[in-house]
Amino acid sequence: MRVLRNRSTLKASLLFLAFSICPFGLAQDRSQSTDKGVIYGTVVAQDGTPAKGLTLNANPLGVALGMALPWTKTNEAGFYSFEHLPLGRYTVFAEDEEAGYSSFSTGAGGAGRPPEVELTAEHPEAEFNVHLPPPAGFLLFHLTNRTTGAPISGVEVTVMSEEAAPKTIVSGGFGSSRAFLVPSDRDLLLHVTSWGFLEWRESVGVGKHIHIASGNRLTLDVQLQPSNALTQRIPDADPKKYQGIHDGKDWKNPCLLVRTDGVVVSGATSDGNPIPVKAVAEALESLPDSAWPYGRVVAVEDDSVGASEPERSRIEANRILLEPFLGELGVIVGSRPSAGACEPPSAVMLDSAVPSVLPANRNVWSAAVLQAKSEDDGLVCANVSGL
* pLDDT (tens digit per residue) in 43-89: 999 899 999 999 999 999 988 776 788 999 999 999 999 999 999 99
Distance between CA atoms of 105 and 179, rounded to whole angstroms? 12
Percent of the chain with pLDDT over 70: 75
Side chain identity at 68, as an amino acid letter? Answer: A
* pLDDT (tens digit per residue) in 212-230: 999 999 999 999 988 766 8
For residues 83-105, give the mean pLDDT.
Answer: 91
Distance between CA atoms of 168 and 166, rounded to whole angstroms? 7
Distance between CA atoms of 117 and 159, rounded to whole angstroms? 29
Give the confidence band of 108 by pLDDT, cuts at 50, 70, 90. low
| Structural domains in the chain plus CATH codes | 36-131 (2.60.40.10), 137-224 (2.60.40.1120), 231-335 (no CATH), 346-387 (no CATH)
168 in Cβ contact with 158 (< 8 Å): yes
pTM given for the model: 0.54
Helices (H), the chain: 2-32, 103-106, 229-233, 280-285, 309-329
Give the confidence band of 163 by pLDDT, cuts at 50, 70, 90. confident
pLDDT for the residue 96: 93
Give the confidence band of 269 by pLDDT, cuts at 50, 70, 90. low
DSSP per position, 7-41: HHHHHHHHHHHHHHHHHHHHHHHHHHTTTEEEEEE
